Chain A
Amino acid sequence: MRREVKLDPVSLASGVVIAALGALLLVDSAGGLHLSLGWMAVVLTAAVGAIFMLSGLLGGSGGKNPE
């Protein structure tokens, strides 16, 4: 039995979202900008919502499909 490994779009999209959050935190910590607590709450909620939405839309249980 050969196991085909294919792309997991949920992991890919979540990784991009999380890396973007990290970049935002990096710029904030380096003094490049300062997000208020209110705006940070909006950004974080949007990020988590996007991950949930992608999980729901793209669904599946991962990219590993046994053949």
Chain B
Amino acid sequence: MNDDTPIMPGPEADEPTAPTEPQPPAPDEAPTSEQPDEGRDRPRRLLRSSSDRVIAGVAGGLGDYFGVDPIIFRIGFVLSILFGGLGALAYLLLAVFVPTDGDPDAAQRLGGRLQGTGFWRAVGLVIIGILAIGGLFGLAGGAAFAVALGWGVPTAIVIIVIGALLALLAFRGGARWLIPPAVALAIGGGVAAAANLDFRGGIGERTYNPTSVASIPADGYRLGVGRLVVDLRDLNWQQHRVVDLSTSLGAGQSNVFVPKRVCVVATTHVGAGESEVAGDVNSGADVNHSVGTGASAAPRLVLDSSVDMGQLRVINSDNADINTPGYGPGPLHVDTAPQRAAEARACAAK
């Protein structure tokens, strides 16, 4: 220890718990400015950032605390939502119980109230809150499910009745507790109706491997929820030069496999999700996709396919595995270039 090192006065000097002999800063932590570095000796504390925040400043605070880019934590939170949602719960708890480095915000005030109510009571309130949010999601999902099963009109009538009841109860003091469940029902039903969700085709995984055109149903293949696979690679394409096919899926993944040399003329619709037809990828809401229109090449598949919510893939490949969502090694591997090339060659052939 260097005895000539100046002793820096700090705010702790006035605190009753301050040591009687102030410790000098370590040589490698010497302040770089002439101003006293307030708080340098204090233990680092995790605080939510008030300046670097997207929602509640949790990622900004974590990044500052650990000395890394907050984007790492943001990506982690988003990924965790996709894989189980534990990160969302962690974010919520951190937002409520970790204070900000600026003026107290709504989350901090909520956390303060929870801490003031005692630990177990606060835990109970958090559990009730989570259950309430889960219940609202359940109501929205139930309404969506009902609409998808064809009960759109009864669901709409229930929502109208609840709305009318809410308006009538306004004259007797109001019933605001009815607002969140009614809104949840309206959102679930509305989204399902707009996406044309149709679960009446059943639930599960269906794999069809027709070996002749006669075995393909005239109205095509249909599934409500799950994975629909139609593998046309065992058809005799020398005999059946042009094959018509329609598929319909409510929610999930729809795959149509054709040999590499078959031209695909497809008209597809995806309500919300991704359409990937012979290597041509489009995603978003209301994705309408036309591929190979006007092509007269043979052999040719004329496809009319729809997915209300999820993913539609038409795959030109002789060796793609129907059990692997991607083409290559691994479920998330997507190399669409070979598909586009195969499609272009097949549709250009005379």
What sequence of 0s and 1s flags, for each residue 145-188 of chain B, a beta carbon within 8 Å of any chain A beta carbon? 00100001101111111111111111111111011001100110
In contact, B286 and A38 (Cβ under 8 angstroms) = yes
- Residue from A24, A26, A62 within 8 A of B174 (CB atoms): A62
A16 and B194 contacting across the interface, CB-CB below 8 Å:
no
Cross-chain contact A29 with B271 (CB below 8 angstroms): no
B159 touching A21, Cβ below 8 Å: yes
Q: How far is the CB of B143 from chain A (nearest CB, A)?
A: 9
User: Are A40 and B163 in contact, with the CB atoms below 8 A?
Assistant: no
Q: Is the CB of B170 within 8 A of A11?
A: yes
Can you list 5 pairs linking A and B with CB atoms under 8 Å apart? A11-B169, A22-B160, A25-B159, A44-B190, A48-B183
Docked-complex contact A37 and B272, CB < 8 angstroms: yes
Chain A residues whose CB sits within 8 angstroms of the CB of B160 once the complex forms: 19, 22-23, 26
Contact, CB under 8 Å: A37 / B194: yes
Bound-complex Cα distance A12 to B176 (A): 9
Which chain B residue lies CB-closest to A63?
B173
Task: Determine whether B302 belongs to the interface, using a CB cutoff of 8 Å to chain A.
Answer: no
The answer to whether residues A40 and B173 also contact, given A21-B186, A26-B156 and a CB cut-off of 8 A, is: no
Within 8 A of B (CB), among A10-67: 10-12, 14-26, 28-30, 34-41, 43-44, 47-48, 51, 62-64
Could you tell me which residues of chain B, from 268 to 285, have a CB within 8 Å of some CB in chain A?
Answer: 271-272, 285
State the CA gap A19–B187 with chains docked (Å).
13
In the complex the two chains form, is A11's CB within 8 Å of B152's CB?
no
- For the residues of A in contact with B, the DSSP-based class is helix
**Minimum C-beta distance from B204 to chain A (A):** 25
Whether B46 sits at the interface, judged by CB under 8 Å, is: no
Q: How far is the CA of A15 from the CA of B164 in the complex (A)?
A: 6
- Is B175 in contact with A21, judged by CB distance below 8 angstroms? no
Q: Is A1 interfacial (CB 8 A cutoff)?
A: no
How far does the alpha carbon of A27 sit from the alpha carbon of B193 in the complex, in Å? 10
* Least Cβ–Cβ distance between A24 and chain B, in angstroms: 7
Contacts A11-B179, A25-B159, A51-B179 given; does A37 touch B174 at CB 8 Å: no
